[in-house]
Structure 1
Amino acid sequence: MKVEISVPEVVSIFKEIQEYPEKFFGITCVDIRKSVSQYLSKMMEMERTHLLRREPYSFSDFH
């Protein structure tokens, strides 16, 4: 996969970030929240399955 970007595109991106920094940081914060959420979910799953040796419950287990 080859990614190409021109100098005018880079300049345009930096100008937009300077003019509307909240737009850039809003997107970044959402991405960070998503990554942290996925990481913590995976950690809890690993802890449950590997350390406690349990598989996730399903609703049918309780009926």
Structure 2
Amino acid sequence: PFALIPDGTAVMVGHLDVPGLTEGVPASLSAAAVTGLLRGEMGFDGVVVTDDLSMGAVAQLVDVPTASRL
């Protein structure tokens, strides 16, 4: 669910369901994916971004203002 920028300073998290990790929640909203895997296990300490919080996979779960704070 991650696309690294080559210099390793930022990563974009996709709105993907990762079986066994995100339990039906898009990775972009998943603490298990972002905090657990990306920051914890992978040790990434750069900037984490995502795109289009109004798309269906996200909007059906949470409104845009709330999603932007997760």
The normalised TM-score by structure 2 is 0.24
Q: Name the structure with the higher strand share.
A: 2
Pair member with larger Rg: 1
- Which one scores higher on RCO, CA 8 angstroms, separation ≥ 6? 2
